[in-house]
Amino acid sequence: MLNISASRKHKKGTLELDIAPLIDMVFILLIFFLVTTSFVKETGIEVTRPTASTATVHPKATILIAVDNQNRIFMDHREIDIRAVRANTERALAENPEGAVVVVADTASSTGTAIQVMDGCRMAGATNVSLAAALPEGQ
């Protein structure tokens, strides 16, 4: 006959839980989220954008160039000269050929500077160049 109480006494050892596969899974998930996450690039300065009721959101704006109220040009958190816009845009387009260029100009900046920046971007080979605007309040 089968002795149940005797078999239970032999099985009363310590239970061990191996968490190594769990840690491996957590690291795999972490790597997955880091690889698939798209990071937001900033221009490096704060500008006051002009408002436009026809402004639309451009989700693929990967190359941002800012023009502040003193007509200084910023790209990737550093100030660049107007003559360096073309070279910097070519470098950025080489890294991301499908990227769109958005010029973020301050309302107090000169229109001529914004046009020169946009022209330099087009000379660098950018086909999708736009000027950033904010939606009016309440829209």
Q: How far apart are CA 65 and CA 42, in angstroms?
A: 9
| Residue 50, in any domain of the structure | no
> Looking at the predicted structure, is the pLDDT value of residue 9 above 60?
no
Domain membership of residue 127 as a residue range: 61-131
**pLDDT by residue (tens digit) across 11-63?**
666 777 888 889 999 999 999 888 877 665 666 666 766 777 667 776 666 78
User: What does the pLDDT read at residue 62?
Assistant: 76
CATH code at position 85: 3.30.420.270
Residue 38 is assigned to a structural domain of this protein = no
> Does some domain include residue 8?
no
Neighbours of 139 (CB within 10 A): 8
Total count of domains within the chain:
1
Rounded to 10°, the helix 85-95/111-123 angle is 50
Cβ of 64: how many Cβ atoms within 10 Å? 21
pLDDT score of 77? 85
Q: What is the pLDDT of residues 96-107, one digit of tens each?
A: 888 888 898 988
- On the CB side of 139, CA atoms within 13 Å amount to 11
What's the confidence (pLDDT) of residue 131? Answer: 85
**Tens of pLDDT, residues 55-98:** 777 666 678 899 998 999 999 888 999 999 999 999 989 988 88
In a domain, 27, yes or no: no
When mean pLDDT is compared over 42-46, 120-124, 129-133, the highest value belongs to 120-124
Question: What's the pTM?
Answer: 0.63
Q: How confident is the model at residue 119 (pLDDT cuts 50, 70, 90)?
A: very high
